[in-house]
Chains A and B, each alone.
Chain A
């Protein structure tokens, strides 16, 4: 089965390498991995979908949590969560097929974001299954190129894993000032 694990990580060089290396070494199968910034500067959120039995997801959580740069780990598999993924799909579309395709786009509440005489780019943000279904329906027209972001997820309701809500103001200041080494203007970036 698939497990969704969300990790808040220090936004430091090498952190993605550490996480990827851990998954490779332990033989955890990554289904998708999405990394992005959060409401707090210096903290990134990784949403990782892993394939495996429940014991795997426990090991994934604990091994992740062992990394010093990983701040918190949350398993969202059995949590009531909003899970979304974005896809961009480029379809071969002759002018006479456009009407049919646009009907499908409407049904799935997707959007057309680019048009050319022989192609369309369709964008859809939805749960994984909905994306799969749209893709299935678009396939007969000819999918020329596609990209998906991988799932991202947030628990529903007021509960959060946000770091700043669980830290004292003093510690927060410590972490955002001295605890983190900013990356700007290092000698090695400028030639």
Chain B
């Protein structure tokens, strides 16, 4: 067999894994790899403007498509710039591969130019990592990395390659099998555990489902619907579980958690049996753990056994892939309905709907703008968001109906995620419209990727909910720090001039009456668009479970609270 250079082995390995796109940024130590890109046209390299952008783009690409997202950076600052993106992807279990170059082997540990111990730094925020010290180890490392990222509880994997390994020659031998003796993800639920859980579910009077990101990551929304319909169980979603069941479904009750609905949070805390699928019992979804629902029996299905009992004790833990366990459970349970319980939640919803409606009047509220974008874009579009008020309002008002429609940083809560993630989604789904909902704060963190969108002809529609504030921080300062606004009002450039500078289309919307036309104009424009929505400056996201409070202590907007 002929030998090839490490750089070629990297690119051959990517092809074997099925990678068609790499988001990256060149630099000294990865030059030998970049030198070989033209010889492998099957792998498209997208040149970003900042490595964090590459990382979030890979993340958005993976979330939108279900395929492995790949980002590439050089050593030192290039690698450390990836850190936020690596952690973002890992917290939300997104299958991603981060490749970094490093200084030549003889220089490792000598503090040379652009050396950073990136393997040491990423260790706590990746599922696994490799420092590849020989060209012959490249192919097995990539095969293992892809296997690890895409199986079990998905996640980010990091591969660090010293410069001279790219130029070292070795035979390219693609491993026929990957077998890791320390890694055996369980897929099928234990039949005894299934049987026990089925008994509890059958005996339930007020059951409720918590559907999390795992349902979407494993493409199990059909299986979820079948289970819910057979058992007559209402479904609540975590933020990242939105889209696992369309809102118009009779058993769909929307989002629970800190900014979940009043009825969802009360259903969660009043249920007698909780069946959680692919969610990690996060504090933003559950409020104060010990008072979330102390009397309910909890069935917790998760592929990661370390999530069982971590935050909340699970009476019936089931380790397995939601995609496999859901049909097992559906087969084991009896057909059932819970008309009285469902009516109780419906009544609650009817009584409290006003607290989650678009504010009346002629003001241009973010809620109004988002509901208009959602109505126009429909379920086939992809929506990404940043973090903060606009993110929560997007979750509440954008009628998320389809898995992979809604892409947002849930676990890490990364501002600046929205624009590059939308770019990645646009690459992954060229046939879908991609809208990114931005705050004026987060937009200013990563808008440099507009240049990448222009280069790559990615017609992302960037809707800035511009209120001149870091809205969620302002809300907390208003509510919990006695209106003491500190460093929360934020100036900004003229976003229309910014659009002009990048050679893209810009639209400013200052009045509610212009919203529909602006959305239509943006959608019709064949390229990236910045929409500068001058929304109401001060408005709060309701309902709210204050940090440290329990779900049944959900507070509604003062004007809607029913005492």
Contacts and interface: CB of A to CB of B under 8 A. Distances in A.
Interface in A1-51: 9-10, 13-14, 17-18, 21-22, 25
B182 A18 contact: no
A65 B308 CA distance: 13
Interface in A114-129: none
B131 A181 contact: no
A179 B134 contact: no
A68 interface: yes
A163 interface: yes
Given A59-B310, A66-B304, A181-B137, A17 B123 contact: yes
Interface stretch (B33-41, B173-181, B467-475): B173-181
B128 A68 contact: yes
Nearest to A189: B105
A172 to B, nearest CB: 9
A55 B182 CA distance: 23
A62 B317 CA distance: 13
A68 B180 contact: yes
B134 A181 contact: yes
Q: Report the interface size class on chain B.
A: 20 to 34
B181 A179 contact: yes
A22 B309 CA distance: 18
Contacts of A178: 140, 175
Which of B128, B182, B310 gathers the greatest number of chain A CB atoms within 10 Å?
A: B182
Contact of B306 (A17, A25, A59, A68): A59
Contacts of A140: none
Contact of A14 (B106, B131, B181, B310): B131
A141 interface: no
A113 B514 CA distance: 90
Contacts, number: 71
A5 to B, nearest CB: 14
A58 interface: yes
A21 B123 contact: yes
Interface string B85-119: 00000000000000000000110100000000001
A68 B148 contact: yes
Contacts of B124: 21-22, 25
B360 interface: no
Interface in B106-164: 106, 108, 119-120, 123-124, 127-129, 131, 133-134, 137, 140, 148, 164
Contacts of B119: 14
Given A68-B127, A179-B179, A181-B134, A62 B140 contact: no
B183 interface: yes
A58 B310 CA distance: 9
A100 interface: no
A178 B181 CA distance: 12
Which of A10, A21, A70, A181 gathers the greatest number of chain B CB atoms within 10 Å?
A: A181
Contact of A69 (B120, B175, B182, B306): B182
Given A59-B310, A68-B148, A178-B140, A167 B105 contact: no
Contacts of A175: 179, 181
B183 A68 contact: yes
A95 interface: no
A22 B306 CA distance: 13
A187 B180 contact: no
A181 B136 CA distance: 10
A66 B306 contact: yes
Contacts of A171: 179, 181
B305 interface: yes
B127 A186 contact: no
A71 interface: yes
Interface in A34-92: 55, 58-59, 62-63, 65-72
Interface string B293-306: 00000000000111
A17 B309 contact: no
A172 B514 CA distance: 69
Given A13-B131, A22-B124, A25-B124, A62 B105 contact: no
Interface residues of A, number: 34
B375 to A, nearest CB: 43
Given A65-B306, A71-B181, A17 B133 contact: no
Contact of B305 (A14, A62, A191): A62
Which of A58, A62, A163 gathers the greatest number of chain B CB atoms within 10 Å?
A: A62
A22 B123 CA distance: 9
A63 B179 contact: no
Contacts of A71: 181-182
A33 B120 CA distance: 20
A25 B126 CA distance: 13
A171 B306 CA distance: 26
A14 B121 CA distance: 12
A187 B105 contact: yes
B8 to A, nearest CB: 20
A76 B105 CA distance: 41
B120 A186 contact: no
A72 B183 CA distance: 9
Given A21-B123, A63-B306, A188 B106 contact: yes
A54 to B, nearest CB: 10
A188 B306 contact: no
A10 B130 CA distance: 13
Contacts of A179: 179-181
B123 to A, nearest CB: 5
B336 to A, nearest CB: 33
A63 B108 CA distance: 30
Contacts of B123: 14, 17-18, 21
Given A21-B123, A63-B306, A187 B179 contact: no
Contact of A187 (B106, B120, B131): B106
B126 to A, nearest CB: 10
Contacts of B177: 174
Given A13-B131, A171-B181, 4 more contacts: A14-B131, A174-B179, A186-B133, A187-B164
20 contacts: A10-B181, A14-B120, A14-B129, A14-B131, A25-B124, A59-B309, A62-B306, A66-B306, A68-B183, A69-B128, A71-B181, A71-B182, A72-B182, A167-B181, A174-B179, A179-B180, A181-B133, A181-B137, A186-B105, A186-B133
Closest 8 pairs (CB-CB, A-B): A62-B306, A188-B105, A68-B128, A71-B182, A68-B183, A71-B181, A21-B124, A63-B306
